[in-house]
Chain A
Amino acid sequence: MENQQTNVEDNKDNSTPIPQTEKKKEEQLFFQCTSCIFRTKYDYFGRNPTQLKNYLLLEDSYVLEDPFSSPKEKNVIILGAHCIKCKKRVCKNMNCSCYFEGTYCICCAKNNVKMFPKALQEKINRIV
C-alpha cells in the first residue's frame, strides 16, 4: 500500500526526522503516518498552535486547522506525533498509536505493554 505514495517530501525510513517547529510559508507540509496509509497536509508542528487559544499540547504534535468547520471557530485537528520510544511518526488512529503521558506507536506499546495501566493494556492487546 505504502509504495504507491510517491511524494518526495515523505520519508519512508523509520527514523523520521523531527521537523522544525517553525512553519515555513508557501511550502506544503505533509504528514505521513508510518504505520498506516494516512497522509495529509499539516499546518503546524509543535506544542502551541496559534488557533488553540486556551490550551497547550503536552508534546510536539502535527496539527491541522480543522477543515470541517469554519475558520472562525478556530478548531484544530491533531494528526499525530512522534513515538516517544522510537521517534517514528504515527497518527492518532487507535490502531496506530496510544497516548499515556506521551504518544507510543503501536509497536512500542506492545513491546512495553506492562508499563500501562490495566484498562489500557487490554485495549493495546486487542489491537492486532
Chain B
Amino acid sequence: MDYHERMRSRHKRMRSRSLDRKRKRSKSPEQKQKKPITAYKHELGRFLEEQSSINNTSDFWRFYEKYKSLQSLQKSDVDKHKLLNLVFMEDLSFLYDKLPVLDRRGNRLDISKEDFKDLLLVIRVYQDFQQKSNFAKLHKLKLFQNDLPIAQHKAEIIEKLSQSRVLLIAGDTGCGKSTQVPQYILEAGYNKIACTQPRRIACISLAKRVAYETLTEYKNTVGYQIRFEKTKRADTNIIFLTEGLLLRQASEKETLESYDVIILDEVHERNLHGDFLIGIMKCLLHQRDNFKLILMSATINLELFSNYFDDEQIQVIKVPGRLYPIDIQYRPIIKDPYERKREKLDCTPYLQILQMIDEKYQANQKGDMLIFLNGFSEISTLADAVTEYSQIKKNWIVLPLHSSLSLEEQDKVFDYPPEGVRKCIISTNIAETSVTIDGIRFVVDSGKVNRMSYNTNVGVNKLSECSISQDSAKQRSGRAGRTGPGTCFRLYSEDDLKSFEPFTPAEIHQVPLDSLLLHMISLGLNDIANFPFVEKPATKSLEESMEKLKFIGALELDNDLLALTQLGDCLSQLPVDLTIGKMLIMSTVFGNVNSVLASASLLSIQSPLTQQAQRNSEARDLRKPMESDHGDPLSLLNFYKEWLSVKQTSTVAKSRSKRDSGMSSKVWARKRCLEEQRFYEATKLIEQFREILQEADLLPKITETDLSSGERSIRLGELKQLKSMRYRFKNDDKNKNRKQLKYEMYNHGDADQDSERVDIRDVEFRISNDFKRLQRLLNEASADSHKDLMTLKIILASGLYPQIAVEDEFNSSKTILERLYHTKHKNYVFLRPDSYFATNPEVLELHNDDIEVPPAGYFSRRPISRKHQISVYQTILETKKVYLVNTMRMPALQTLLLLGKTVATNETFTKFVVDGFLMFDVPYFGQGKALLLQAIAIRKTWKMKLESKLKDPTSTKTDQREIFYFTEDLVKYMTTEVSYNIKRLLPADLKDVFSHNCEIFDLERISQNTKNPFSEDYRISKNLEMGGINITENIVYGCLLQEEWAYNIEQEVINTEFVCKYCKKTCLGSSLFGNIRHETFCSSRTEEGTSGNKDENEEEEVIVKSNSRMYHCDVCGKNLMLTPVDILRHKKSCK
C-alpha cells in the first residue's frame, strides 16, 4: 500500500513537470504536415508495452492498420466506447505525458491529443479483441471436452469411484478416456494420480495435452516421468509414466504409497508389463486400503478383467466409441485344391476390389483404401501389382506401411492425394492400433497376420503366418468408419471368422519370461506358482526361464529358496534383455565399457540393413570394406563407426549445398542400403545404456570435458545456427502439416528432392552431440587393436553364451546356400543371407592346411586342428527357414572352457565335454591341461573382479594395471595354440559319455581336508550326476568314459617318472591329479614365491608342442611326448 501511494505522488510530480514541456511542444504542430501515427511505431513501442500491456507490438500494429482500413469502409453508428468493458486506469493526459518527447531522429514527437485519444480507443478495441479470441479458445476447449463420448459418464465415473476400489472403464479409441479420466478424478479431489502408458511417447504427449486441458500448461499440476526424464515436482497431481517405470517403483515403497489413484491405461493390449502390473496391483489392493485402481481398456475381453477382480467388486463403465456405420462384405478366396502351393501372394482378389471401387464410385468421391496383409514380402508383391494396375489411369497411389520403413516414409501415409486419386495403403497390423489414419473408407482384410512366438524348449523365435483373432478383425473393420461410413471387405467367410480365436493371445504366452521372473524375484515374489497372473503362463515356460536364470548365474537356490545372486540383483535393475544386460555388466568389470555400449545398443535395435541390402550389388560392394570377418556384431560396429566419421567430416545439412564439402551421412547411408534412422536410435541408446549403468553405480559419472574457450565460442555459434534451423523446421512443419502426394514420386523416386530439405534428425543429433562428444562416440565405437577386439568379442560372447552353433561336418562339400549349422536344441539351422558368414563361409571352416596329422595311436574321422571355431549368435529366427541372427566367430575350445557352465573332463585333460553339447578330443597330452589351468585362473580372477565390482560398485579404484594384465592374459589365453577336434553330442550320445563313477574320490584319498590344487577355496566333492569330482564350480574332473587312446595316455602318465620342477623329487606311479597336487603345494615352490605360476604354464607350452608325438624310447624304456627334433636329440643323448 505504502508503495502505491509513493508511486502516485511521484506520478503527480512528474505529470506537472512534463505538462510544461508538452505545452511548449504542442505549439507548432499545425504548420507542418501531420504525420500519421503509424510513423511512430518505434517511438510508441515502449508506451504500448508499459502503459498498455501489449507484449506483441507488431501484432498490434497489424491490427491497427486492418482496423483503420475497415473503419474507413463502413461507418458505424455505435459508440465504440459503449461496447468495451475495459478502460485505462489512468486518464488521458496522464497517459499522454508518458509519450516520449523526441522521436528517434531527435525531432519533436508530433502526435496530437486527438490522434492520441483515437489510438487509446484502438488499443482498447485491440485488448477487447484479444480477450474475445482468448475466451473463444477456452470456450472451444470446454465444448470439445464436453462433446467427447466419455463426458456423458463423468458423474458415473466419479460416483462409482467413490463407492468402489477398482473401476474398469472400457471405451474405444477416440472416446477420450485417456485424456479426460485423470482430469475428472483430479476434480473429484484426488491429489496424487499415477497413470501408466505402454509407450513413452504417449506419456509425453498425454501429459502435454492434459496440462493444456486442465489449463495448467504453465504449472506443475500435470507431469510425466519416463526413464531419465521427468517433469514431476512435489506439487504435481497427475503423473503419466510408463508401465515399466511403475513396475520399478513397486520396489520403492514410499513412491508407490504416495499415489491415491493408480490408472492403468490400455490394459487390453495385454503386454507383459501391463499384465504383471495388474497382478501386482491386485496384491497391493489387499495390502493397502488407501488407494484406488482404475483400469482402462478398449471394449474387448471385459469379462477377463471383471472376473479377475471379482473379489474386489470391480465396477465397470462402458463408453461407446464414435464410429460411422460400416458395411461388411465377406469375399472368401476359393482355393483351387489342385493348384500347387503358391510361393507368392495371389493379388487377383485385391485387384478385383480395386476395380470394383473404380467402377462403382466416382473419382471425385473421396475415400482411401487400407489393405491389411501379413508381411513385408506380401506387401511388396501387392504394391507392385497395384502400381501396375493403376499405371494407365494413375488414380491410385500405393503406400506401403510396415515397421521397418523409416519414420519419414511411414509419415507419407498421412499426406493427402491429389484430386481424383485415392491412396492405397498396404499395411501390416501396425495400422490396426498403433498408427491411426483418417480418411479411410475401404478396408480390405486378408485375415492374416505374422506373429512372433517364442518356442521355449528350443529357444527359437518363430515368425509365422497366422489367422487373426476375431477381435483384430473387428478392430480392422473399424478403421473404415472413423471419418464417415465405410466398407470392409473380408477375404474370408463368416464361418472362418467364427473359427478364429476370440482374442489375440497375450504377450505372456509369446515371449521368454526370463526378465519377468527376475523382476518378480527381485520384488520378493518368490512364490511364482501362486502369483495372481491375469492369465497364467505355461508352467513349462516358467521352468525354462528359471533354468536359464540359474544357468547364467542370476539365480541360486539358497536353502530351497530362490534367491538372486549379486549378478542377478544387478541384472534386475537393468531394463534390458538379459544377454545385453550381462554384456553391459561385464564391460564395467573390464573397463572396456565403450565399445561394448555401442555394440550392445546396435544389437538392441532393428538391423540397419534395409530390405534391398542384399539385392543391390552396388551397395553391397560399398559395404564390403566395412564388413568384419569376425562376424555381424563387429560389422555393425564398423558401419556405425564409419557413419559417425562421415558425420564428423560433413557439415550441417544446409550449408552442404556446395558440392565439395563432402557427402551427407544420409546420402552415405542410402548408398549403402543402411537405414540411417537406426544409427540415430543407436546413438540415443548408447547414452541410455550409459545412464542405466551410472544409475546402478556401475559406471562413474563422467564430467563432460570442458571445451577450450575458442572451441566453446565455435560451438556456441554452431548451436545458435542449429537451434534456429530446428525452430524454422518446426514452424514449417506446423504450417504444412500434410503434404500433397504426387503420383510421379512413386515411379521415379524422390531422392534428390529430399536431400534439399533440412534433415531435422541431423540437426537434433548435432545439437545434442558437440564435436568432442562426437569424437568420443567415434573412439568408443572403435575396437581396432587386436587386444580390444578380442576383449570386445569375449564380453559379447559372455553375454550371449550359451547361444552357440557349430557347423555341420559336411558343410565343406555343400553350396553356400545349403550350409547348415547346429545349436544344442535346434539342429539344421541356416545363416541369415545378410550375415557375413553366409557369403564368406570359408572363414568359419577349416582349410586343408589347417588340418594336422593326429598323434600316433589316435584315430578319428574328425580332423584335428588348431583353428576350430564356433559361432556365437544373438537369436534364432524362424520364418520360412530357421536362421541364426547376428553371428560372431570365436575360437572353439578356448571359448567353451572359459564360458561353459559345466566343463567335464577326464583324468588327463585330453577330453572335454562342455554343457552336454560339444565334446573335444585334445590328443596331445599336456595341451589340454595347460589350457584348462589357464582357463581356471582367468575364471577365478574374472569372478573375483565381478564380485568386487558388484559388491562395491562405487569404488573406482580398480587397478588399471591389474585390469591391463588381466586382459593381456585373457587375450593370450584365447590365442593359445591347441590342437583338437570337435564332436557335437546328440541327446542319445550323452548316455555313453559320462562314467557315473566317483571312485577317483577314494582313489586319490580325498577327504574333507584335502587341499584343492585347482582352486584353493573350493572344496572338492563327488559329482553324483556325472561321476568324477567337482574341482571348481564349473569343472568336473575324471568323469568321462574314455577311448583306448585316452586310456593309454593315462597309463603312460602313471608309468612315467614325474619330476617336480620345484623340489626335483621324482616319483613313479602317481596320477596326473597327484602330480598337479604335488606341484601346486610343493614346499620348495612356496619359497620361490608365487611368481612362478605364470612361467609354469609357459614352460608347459614349450614342452608340449603341437607336433609332439608319443615316443617310446627303447633304451631308457620311457614314454615321452616329444617333437621329431627332440626325439632325435633324445636318441642321441640316451645311450
Contact = CB atoms under 8 A, between A and B. Distances in A.
A61 B82 CA distance: 16
Contacts of B751: none
A18 interface: no
A82 to B, nearest CB: 13
B215 interface: yes
B218 A70 contact: yes
Contacts of A61: 85
Nearest to B142: A38
Nearest to A116: B78
A73 B55 contact: yes
A37 B142 contact: yes
Nearest to B89: A56
A1 B151 CA distance: 10
Contacts of A81: 85
Interface in A36-64: 37-41, 52-59, 61, 64
Interface string B78-91: 11001111111110
Interface stretch (B131-139, B315-323, B664-672): B131-139
Given A38-B142, A117-B78, A119-B78, A56 B53 contact: no
B948 interface: no
Highest count of chain A CB atoms <10 Å: which of B83, B130, B135, B137: B135
Given A4-B155, A54-B88, A58-B86, A78 B218 contact: no
B364 interface: no
Contacts of B661: none
Contacts, number: 102
Contacts of A66: 134
Contacts of A117: 77-79
Nearest to B124: A55
**Interface size band for A:** 35 or more
A91 B85 contact: no
A104 to B, nearest CB: 12
B705 to A, nearest CB: 35
Given A41-B215, A61-B85, A120-B78, A55 B127 contact: yes
A74 interface: yes
Interface stretch (A19-27, A95-103, A105-113): A95-103
B76 interface: yes
Interface string B94-136: 0000000000000000000000000000000001001110111
A77 to B, nearest CB: 5
Contact of B146 (A37, A68, A71, A93): A37
B412 interface: no
A93 B53 contact: no
A37 B215 CA distance: 17
B215 A40 contact: yes
Given A54-B88, A57-B85, A67 B142 contact: no
A40 B53 contact: no
Contact of B77 (A53, A67, A69, A118): A118
A75 interface: yes
Contacts of A64: 138, 215
B941 interface: no
A116 B53 CA distance: 31
B83 A93 contact: no
Given A41-B215, A67-B217, A119-B77, A93 B135 contact: yes
Contacts of A69: 218
Contact of B154 (A4, A53, A55, A59): A4
A77 B142 contact: no
B86 A56 contact: yes
Given A54-B88, A100-B83, A6 B155 contact: yes
A39 B142 contact: yes
B614 interface: no
B390 interface: no
Given A56-B87, A58-B87, A73-B55, A67 B215 contact: yes
B152 interface: yes
B58 interface: no
Contacts of B86: 52, 55-58
A19 B258 CA distance: 36
A30 to B, nearest CB: 10
Nearest to A74: B53
Interface string A71-96: 10111011101000000000111000
Interface in B992-1017: none
B218 A103 contact: no
Interface in B187-209: 187
Given A4-B155, A37-B146, A55-B87, A91 B139 contact: yes
A123 to B, nearest CB: 10
Nearest to B54: A54
A69 B133 CA distance: 13
B158 A77 contact: no
Nearest to B215: A67
Contacts of B154: 4
B868 to A, nearest CB: 69
B89 A75 contact: no
Nearest to A96: B139
A4 B152 contact: yes
A46 B146 CA distance: 28
B85 A77 contact: no
Highest count of chain A CB atoms <10 Å: which of B78, B132, B155, B218: B218
B135 A77 contact: yes
B221 to A, nearest CB: 11
B16 interface: no
A58 B85 contact: yes
Contacts of B85: 57-59, 61, 78, 81, 99, 103
A92 B130 CA distance: 13
B57 to A, nearest CB: 13
A56 B76 CA distance: 26
Contacts of B142: 37-40
Contacts of B155: 4, 6
B52 interface: yes
A77 B88 contact: no
Contacts of B956: none
Interface string B145-188: 01000011011001000000000000000000000000000010
A52 B83 CA distance: 19
Interface of A: 1, 4, 6-7, 37-41, 52-59, 61, 64, 66-71, 73-75, 77-79, 81, 91-93, 99-101, 103, 117-120
Given A38-B142, A99-B83, 5 more contacts: A4-B154, A55-B89, A78-B131, A93-B139, A100-B83
8 tightest Cβ-Cβ pairs between the two chains A and B: A67-B215, A117-B78, A55-B86, A92-B135, A77-B134, A101-B82, A6-B155, A58-B85
19 contacts: A4-B151, A4-B154, A38-B143, A40-B215, A54-B88, A56-B86, A58-B87, A67-B215, A67-B218, A68-B138, A71-B218, A75-B134, A77-B138, A78-B85, A79-B138, A92-B132, A93-B136, A117-B77, A117-B79
